[in-house]
């Protein structure tokens, strides 16, 4: 019942949020820049992103039984996502480096696995301070495929590390709310890997936070 409610509520919220955005755009066009309109616009964007994530999680759960797996070129998928975030990292004064082993193929859902990579790289960019660095690597070790997303930044407290894949969990609630981070991205990534019989492990050491995506 809870899952059905989330799905229904998400769909019902899409239309009013779209109407609100159109109205905000019209107000901006008619009256020019206004800090109050800007506040409303920012909150509308955050709500829209939240609804998108809710629907994504709901859709993934509904499709789990009917999921069709295929051979996915994980090397290409990783490189594409790294290239997408290079400009964003540069704009924030962050160095993004990546090393991807060629020809790594896994069995899975390409769209969902791409979403896992996107969530982790986006998360790394948002939690790396200007002047910091992000390292992404895709390797095969003893027949196991592992994707590593590392970033320099404040460590995740040890007591929070076990909870960051739970829905709506925010280790730094004040900061994350200000950034519009509702704690669903990592929950979605974790759920996708669980459905793919894999897992994501987080580790903080020596100023680096590392998310390890392990495929079985």
Task: Note the pLDDT tens digit of each residue in 129-155.
Answer: 899 999 999 999 888 999 999 999 888
Q: Which pLDDT does position 214 carry in this prediction? A: 95
Distance CA 12, CA 204 (A): 40
Mind listing the domains of the chain with CATH numbers? 2-63 (1.10.287.130), 70-215 (3.30.565.10)
Q: Is the pLDDT of residue 82 over 60?
A: yes
Q: In terms of C-beta density within 10 A (0-12 exposed, 13-18 middle, 19 or more buried), how is residue 126 classed?
A: middle
The pLDDT tens digits for 172-203 are: 554 444 444 445 788 889 988 988 889 999 99
Q: Retrieve residue 138's tokens.
A: 């895709």
Distance, C-alpha 165 to centroid of its chain: 11
Q: Which pLDDT does position 91 carry in this prediction? A: 92
The pLDDT tens digits for 201-210 are: 999 999 999 9
How far is CA 171 from each of CA 46, 104, 162, 167, rounded to the nearest angstrom? Answer: 18, 33, 10, 12
Q: Which pLDDT does position 89 carry in this prediction? A: 94
Q: Retrieve residue 185's tokens.
A: 């991205």
Reported confidence tier of residue 216, pLDDT bands at 50, 70, 90:
confident
Reported confidence tier of residue 79, pLDDT bands at 50, 70, 90:
very high
Q: Which pLDDT does position 180 carry in this prediction? A: 45
Reported confidence tier of residue 44, pLDDT bands at 50, 70, 90:
confident
Q: Which pLDDT does position 175 carry in this prediction? A: 44
Q: Which pLDDT does position 178 carry in this prediction? A: 45
Whole-number average pLDDT of the chain: 84
């Amino acid at each position: 019942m809870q899952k059905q409610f989330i799905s229904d509520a998400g769909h019902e919220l899409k239309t009013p949020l779209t109407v609100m955005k159109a109205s905000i755009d019209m107000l901006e066009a008619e009256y020019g820049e206004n800090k109050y309109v800007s506040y409303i616009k920012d909150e509308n964007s955050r709500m829209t992103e939240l609804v998108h994530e809710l629907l994504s999680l709901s859709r993934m759960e509904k499709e789990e039984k009917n999921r069709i797996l295929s051979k996915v070129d994980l090397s290409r998928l990783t490189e594409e996502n790294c290239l997408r975030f290079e400009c964003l990292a540069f704009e924030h004064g962050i160095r993004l480096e990546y090393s991807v082993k060629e020809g790594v193929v896994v069995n899975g859902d390409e769209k969902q696995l791409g979403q896992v990579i996107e969530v982790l790289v986006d998360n790394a960019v948002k939690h790396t301070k200007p002047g910091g660095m992000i390292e992404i690597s895709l390797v095969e070790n003893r027949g196991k495929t592992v994707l590593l997303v590392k970033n320099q930044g404040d460590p995740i407290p040890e007591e929070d590390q076990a909870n960051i894949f739970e829905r709506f969990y925010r280790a730094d609630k004040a900061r994350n709310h200000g950034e519009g981070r509702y704690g669903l991205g990592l929950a979605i990534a974790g759920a996708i890997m669980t459905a793919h019989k894999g897992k994501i492990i987080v580790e903080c050491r020596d100023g680096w936070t590392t998310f390890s995506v392990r495929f079985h």
